[in-house]
């Protein structure tokens, strides 16, 4: 995750607001070789698919900035909208 403050095991950082997202960081290992997972619970704006895609991309940017190397999204109403694809610049992929 981010290198903003020294980390200790099981350390919980204060909740921080980034865009419309509340960000909580927890550290469970000091081994940087282990997975670092970003988890996002995104409330969909039905039927605004483009706005929802933008939320996903903003969450990915936050994850990348904080050093996450995997992402899990809880997408609420997205399941009712059907599949969609987001075109991402390959340099963005972490």
Q: How far is 89 from 7, CA to CA, in rounded Å?
A: 31
pLDDT attached to residue 44: 78
pLDDT tens for residues 18-28? 888 888 888 88
pLDDT attached to residue 22: 86
The values of phi and psi at residue 39, to 5°, are -120, 125
Which among 56, 31, 34 has a CA at the least distance from the CA of 45? 56
pLDDT attached to residue 6: 47
Query: Measuring CA to CA, how many Å separate 22 from each of 18, 54, 62?
Result: 6, 16, 11
Query: Measuring CA to CA, how many Å separate 8 from each of 5, 31, 63?
Result: 10, 11, 20
pLDDT attached to residue 3: 53
The values of phi and psi at residue 7, to 5°, are -105, 145
Domain boundaries, the chain: 11-92
Those residues of the chain that have pLDDT short of 50 are 1, 6
pLDDT attached to residue 61: 92
The partner residues of 76 in beta bridges, in order of sequence, read none
């Amino acid at each position: 995750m981010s290198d903003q403050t020294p980390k200790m095991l099981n350390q919980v950082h204060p909740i921080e607001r980034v865009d419309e997202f509340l960000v909580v960081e927890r550290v469970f290992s000091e081994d940087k070789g282990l997975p670092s997972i970003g988890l996002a619970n995104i409330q969909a704006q039905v039927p605004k698919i483009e706005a929802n895609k933008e939320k996903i991309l903003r969450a990915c940017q936050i994850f990348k900035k904080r050093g996450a190397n995997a992402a899990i999204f809880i997408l609420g109403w997205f399941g009712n909208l059907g599949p969609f694809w987001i075109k991402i610049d390959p340099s963005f992929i972490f």
